[in-house]
Structure 1
């Protein structure tokens, strides 16, 4: 099995909540990183986006996706044998 997917976002963000709900509904074990409470997570998001703060970000294996369509996320989860 691949490394746990990571969801970078904020508690107040509806899109972040949507991804969290989707991953939970698919029984995917993932790590949620709140960029407003975790300085390292904030720096990782900036590094993935050329110094800009853009979220939600979902990282699955080598796939780094900013606010991906659910179908693209599902394909990445399948490719990484997580669903």
Structure 2
């Protein structure tokens, strides 16, 4: 990059920096959302809440389905359970 182009593009440096930070945050959030270990932990917590009686059967099934769909999207089958019909 030449001196002239560097000077002309210098005002855009903060924009590029903010853009890079936003990309890094999106990548980190995406990795966390699709982390199979985290999803399994959320399933375990959901089961615990249901066993305590904090959730109705309908709420439990709805949330469980959502978490299992996320687990499928992450490319991992839940431990000890297969969603495919025999």
* Larger Rg, first or second structure (1 or 2): 2
Instruction: Judging by fraction of residues, say which structure has more strand.
Output: 1
The two structures have a TM-score, normalised by structure 1, of 0.23
Instruction: Judging by fraction of residues, say which structure has more helix.
Output: 2
Higher RCO structure, 1 or 2 (CA under 8 Å, sep 6+): 1
The two structures have a TM-score, normalised by structure 2, of 0.22
